[in-house]
Structure 1
Amino acid sequence: MKALRYLMLLGHISRQMGWRYVAFRAGYWLQGKTGMLKLRFPRNAISRCFINIEEWRDRKPAFLFERELLKIEKNAGNDDLKWRVAQIKAGKFRYFSHQWYEVHDWHTNALTGFVYPKSRHWSDVDDLSPKTGDIKYVWEKSRFAFLYDLIRYDYHFSEDQSETVFKLISDWIDSNPVNCGPNWKCGQEIALRVLNWTFALHYYRFSTTLNQVLLNKIVGSIYDQTRHVADNIRFSKIAVRNNHVLTEALGLFTVGSMFPFFSKSLKWKRGGKNLFEKEIISQIAPDGSYLQYSMNYHRVVVQLLTWGIRLSELHGDYMCEMVYARAKASLNFLRACQSNANGQLPNYGHNDGALFFLLTECKFRDFRPQMAALANVLGIDLGYQTGKWSEEGQWLAGCCRQFLIKISPRRISTFSGDGYYVIRNAGTLTFLRCGGYRSRPFQADHNHLDIWVNGRNILHDAGTWLYNADSESVSYFSGTRSHNTIMIENFDQMQKHYRFIWTHWIINAKGTAGFAGNAYWIEAGFEGFLHVGKGIVHRRRVVKKAGQLHWLVEDRVSNVPAGMRIRQLWHPDETFKDDFRIRATDDKGCEIPRIVGSGWYSEVYGQKIECAVVMFESEGSFIRTVIECCK
């Protein structure tokens, strides 16, 4: 029976992902089991002088910024930045923008305390074991995102941090033999580390701390790491195909551009740029929506676009026009979903805490720094004016360009490619997603409704918490239970399997939005719960009264199997009941009792808090709900 279940699962995966994906994953698994990956990725390091330090300083390829030309207003009163740098020097590091852990090596999981063996070949490192915990708690420190705090402190306080920066980089190289340990397992993590080291090397190019021996060591490690990325990038292209391959492609392009003395630099530069262009065009829809169905991952792509477009322009090797078009479309999409009050977006889709280049004092959920930086590169006015979010753009793109285009959010925005519908009215934002899949799904969240009032997310998405956690928690955060939508009994809209695998994908998803009379409306529907029964369709209609804090939500579920109930779920914020009320009736107008239970809310990765969940349950097929201000 177990073998039969695996065969059925394989059949589902092959139909949804394609036989090329299945064949590649099987072949890659076989390479790991037979030791082929150890042969392909040997443990020998490059130890030689690639370039004389004086020649390297004289060459100075164009980069995102020039230290002597920076015009960022210095702020020596930035106590938060000063405090963070003090923590770093005390051996404490920030994880996922909000948690601090004291970790003195590069192989300890900060959450579980598990220490990975640093001499074991990366292909033998187990990153999925419950014992080891979420490997992201090892990778996070080794990304070296903390370098941006040190560099910004150096700039704002005029206190040289080169000794600390190079000491940490040198220690990482000594502690992480080539192709050994957990920090060589993920190509994206390696590429991101190389990007951050490149940023630091450019800033400290003329530092007296940097000598020939140290330069040889760092440049040699950059070569080794980039070679690993180049030799393993097919895994990200075929088996992952998301922001991972974009980061790796940008890493190749950046190293090829900034270290032209490597024998493979030209190949990496051309190959990285071509792959980056191809994947941007493929992963971002013409309307600007992103194939990972995640706001935070879309922001990651925005950061990569800013770096990639700007660097290519500086080197006279421009990205193709379609990359520019997709970048502009991305800004239009994200701006439509963004709160004017605080720069936040719905916490929709997977959110693993990724924020690559930490170059402002803005909060993690504020998307303005990253969007403003890309807008600066493209000459687009997003209507932000000037604020602390502007600093990132000054580091990555220099002085503000003349604005040629202005993007202003519309009252009604529809992104039918991936099924996003947004209403903006009188300080409110009403967001609904109901669309098909261009790539594998991550969460069963169709017809999820997010409602914002003046920057306050009164009905929210539960978030992500952790990728490698107990099965119950993973099922909760990725499943339908954590979203403002409909369940049938305790069934998700699709069937959950191991880790990120879903089968019985929803089909026939579509929707529309408009304005009539004195109200805005969204209508959307899909066929789902295919593992529960045939022909089950969930249709949702949302009506927002113009100028009023009043929403009407009508859910109709057809072909529900006999004896099963439908459950309408809502996840309100902590003070919702003080300012708003929610009530529901069935198709006969009879009131449905409100059931208040408990669930979880994870605003940032690795942190969860208990929260209230409001549920309306019916043995019928229709629920009509009114959400309104009670003051």
Structure 2
Amino acid sequence: MAWSLLGRGPWARGWLRWRLRGGLPPDGADLMAGPDVRPLWEANRWAELPRLALAGQGRAIPDRVAAWFAANPPYRGVNWACGQEAALRVLHLALAAALAGTPAPEAAMRALARRIGANPAYAWAQDNNHPVSEACGLLICGLALGEGGLARRGARRLDAAVARLVAADGGFAQLSPAYHRMLLDVVAVTEWLRRRAGGPEAAPLTLARMAAATRWLHRLACPVTGRLPRIGHQDGSHVADLSAAGPDDASASLERAARIFCGASAGWPADAGCAALGLTLPAAVLAAEADWEAGGLLGRRFGRFRAILRVGPLRFRPGHADLLHLDLWREGENLLRDGGTGAYNPADPAWLDYFQGAAAHNGIAFDGEDQMPRLGPFLFHHWPETGALPGGGWWRDHRGRRHARVLRAAPGGLAVEDAVSGPFREALLRWRLAPGDWTLGAEGVAGAGMRLSLSADGPMALRLVRGMESRAYGEVSPLPVLEACISETTSRITTHIHNL
């Protein structure tokens, strides 16, 4: 980390003194070099504290916090290496204290505030959830400590982060339904805490953008199970889970955000977390939209099928090479699916290339390459050009190879029309199927109560192979993948998908 990222003022000078005392890993230390740190960080977010408060065990919270500090002295060790992790502890501690009707431990809040405020430029440079979470952490610390200046600073940073990173249509810079859920969790709980404490009001633009962000995620969630597509980075993060919904069910997160930002229900009126916060049930309910386009995704409904297509543009850095990936759902069944993430620092380095690359997505790859070359574990370069089409979109890579995809209604379901062009020898279309019994035939596959029938304007070879998916962080399991291979003499493939 360069010294220029430390920021200015007393917060930065204090951080520099702590660094010079050798408390944290030295500049240039690679947290990716050892075991995966992400599970350790999640286990130290104090997510259990609000649950203790709800269970009437609020008196145990100060002792829990003191024990944690004894095991993790301030500014020393991996648990202090990330400002966002400190901010998430702040949020859970402040929420637990509010639910228990007790003040948050002052010494803990001060230590966490100093860590969050140490290097804001680093968080801001991420263009993801970090600057949002850290701004919320400073705001909450200011409220808890009775320091109006700190609360106002956090509020200004939050307003600036939301204005930059959340678009008017609700899309988030980090195109990931899971991280979008985390955005809603963090900002919704912060808003509840600041309204309760009479803190500085959010800017009107912030409230409008967060309402749009809530509607964006509501479009993606299964209305029955609350499950989300595994598009983009997925690590199971969820914050202030007062309903014990877990990482695979976003219904409670959506219900809370909808009541706070939209003045409406998201369709789960009996949510226990909202009841615990005293959020009354609004009469209005968020509309279920059949056809929409927002924040880098396009949604279409075809009878019982719900299709979600990853389109452009690429305004912020992409996490996965997944342009024109298609996720297909039938009620709560994810029939054609994204591979997920695997892990950020897996024991098997091949996971990174696989899950972030073309093999883990329902799209087309040219000559065995991804849509863009890789610079590092989380960075691509030579981003493709993108454009919109009625019912779809297109991308063109830096070599001039182009893929266009359009969705249209067809008898019993839908048709996916893929057109390719440019200098390539071979193109490979993948359909990643839900685990189960699938039968390969001359024209496609059948299974899970549906059929995929493929046709092309030239030679095409079909095969059913074994792929991988990650349904939870750090876990990988097999799934079947239908592959259609074509040469440069074939320019168009049509896949008809319908119920059996």
Tell me the TM-score normalized by structure 2. Answer: 0.90
Are 1:574 and 1:611, in contact at CA under 8 Å, matched by a contact in 2?
yes
Amino acid at match of 1:219: E
Q: Do the aligned partners of residues 236 and 219 (structure 1) sit closer, same or farther apart at CA in structure 2, a change above 3 Å counting?
A: same
SS of 1:421's equivalent in the other structure is: strand
SS of 2:96's equivalent in the other structure is: helix
* One of 286, 289, 294 as aligned partner of 1:407: 286
Instruction: Structure 2: state its 5+ residue gaps.
Output: 439-446
Q: Work out the CA distance in 2 between the residues paired with 1:42 and 1:323.
A: 34
Partner of 2:98: 202
Partner of 1:82: none
Amino acid at match of 1:628: H
Are 1:346 and 1:461, in contact at CA under 8 Å, matched by a contact in 2?
yes
SS of 1:464's equivalent in the other structure is: coil
Partner of 1:236: 123
- Provide Cα deviations, 1:369-422, integer angstroms capped at 9, x if missing partner: 0111011123533451523xx1222334x231544x54212221122xx43110
1:439 paired with 2:316, answer yes
Are 1:459 and 1:572, in contact at CA under 8 Å, matched by a contact in 2?
yes
Instruction: Structure 1: state its 5+ residue gaps.
Output: 1-24, 46-118, 513-521
CA drift of 1:366 comes to 1.7
1:380 paired with 2:263, answer yes
CA drift of 1:426 comes to 3.4
Q: Do the aligned partners of residues 176 and 28 (structure 1) sit closer, same or farther apart at CA in structure 2, a change above 3 Å counting?
A: farther
SS of 2:329's equivalent in the other structure is: strand
Residue identity over aligned pairs, in percent, reads 25
Q: Work out the CA distance in 2 between the residues paired with 1:161 and 1:335.
A: 33
SS of 2:241's equivalent in the other structure is: coil
Q: Work out the CA distance in 2 between the residues paired with 1:199 and 1:476.
A: 39
Amino acid at match of 1:527: R
CA drift of 1:28 comes to 5.0
Partner of 1:605: 473
Are 2:52 and 2:96, in contact at CA under 8 Å, matched by a contact in 1?
no
Which region of structure 1 is more displaced relative to structure 2, 267-276 or 341-350? 341-350
Are 1:41 and 1:228, in contact at CA under 8 Å, matched by a contact in 2?
no
* One of 559, 563, 572 as aligned partner of 2:433: 572
1:323 paired with 2:191, answer no
1:587 paired with 2:461, answer no
Q: Work out the CA distance in 1 between the residues paired with 2:3 and 2:144.
A: 34
SS of 1:623's equivalent in the other structure is: strand
Q: Do the aligned partners of residues 125 and 224 (structure 1) sit closer, same or farther apart at CA in structure 2, a change above 3 Å counting?
A: farther
1:524 paired with 2:421, answer no
Are 2:220 and 2:228, in contact at CA under 8 Å, matched by a contact in 1?
yes
Amino acid at match of 2:220: C
Q: Work out the CA distance in 1 between the residues paired with 2:19 and 2:6.
A: 20
Q: Work out the CA distance in 1 between the residues paired with 2:202 and 2:306.
A: 34
Q: Work out the CA distance in 1 between the residues paired with 2:358 and 2:275.
A: 41
Q: Do the aligned partners of residues 205 and 362 (structure 1) sit closer, same or farther apart at CA in structure 2, a change above 3 Å counting?
A: closer
* One of 87, 93, 100 as aligned partner of 1:191: 87
Q: Work out the CA distance in 2 between the residues paired with 1:197 and 1:169.
A: 9
Partner of 1:392: 273
Q: Do the aligned partners of residues 629 and 184 (structure 1) sit closer, same or farther apart at CA in structure 2, a change above 3 Å counting?
A: same
Q: Work out the CA distance in 2 between the residues paired with 1:379 and 1:329.
A: 8
- Provide Cα deviations, 1:592-618, integer angstroms capped at 9, x if missing partner: 332111221112212111111110000
* One of 335, 338, 342 as aligned partner of 2:221: 338
Q: Work out the CA distance in 2 between the residues paired with 1:586 and 1:328.
A: 43
Q: Work out the CA distance in 2 between the residues paired with 1:127 and 1:395.
A: 41
CA drift of 1:353 comes to 1.4
Residue pairs, 1:455-494, within 5 angstroms: 455-469=332-346, 470-494=348-372
Are 1:43 and 1:178, in contact at CA under 8 Å, matched by a contact in 2?
no
May I ask how many residue pairs the two structures share in their alignment? 483
Q: Work out the CA distance in 2 between the residues paired with 1:29 and 1:257.
A: 26
Runs of 4+ in structure 1 over 6 Å off: 36-39
Are 1:419 and 1:511, in contact at CA under 8 Å, matched by a contact in 2?
no
Partner of 1:285: 167
Are 1:556 and 1:621, in contact at CA under 8 Å, matched by a contact in 2?
yes
SS of 2:108's equivalent in the other structure is: helix
Q: Do the aligned partners of residues 253 and 287 (structure 1) sit closer, same or farther apart at CA in structure 2, a change above 3 Å counting?
A: same
SS of 1:615's equivalent in the other structure is: strand
Residue pairs, 1:295-314, within 5 angstroms: 295-314=177-196
Amino acid at match of 1:325: A
* One of 113, 117, 120 as aligned partner of 1:226: 113
Are 2:65 and 2:108, in contact at CA under 8 Å, matched by a contact in 1?
no
Tell me the TM-score normalized by structure 1. Answer: 0.72
CA drift of 1:43 comes to 7.3
SS of 1:174's equivalent in the other structure is: helix
* Structure with bigger gyration radius: 1
1:536 paired with 2:401, answer yes
CA drift of 1:184 comes to 0.9
Residue pairs, 1:115-134, within 5 angstroms: 120-123=23-26, 126-130=29-33, 132-134=34-36
Are 2:127 and 2:173, in contact at CA under 8 Å, matched by a contact in 1?
no
CA drift of 1:452 comes to 0.3
Q: Do the aligned partners of residues 611 and 244 (structure 1) sit closer, same or farther apart at CA in structure 2, a change above 3 Å counting?
A: same
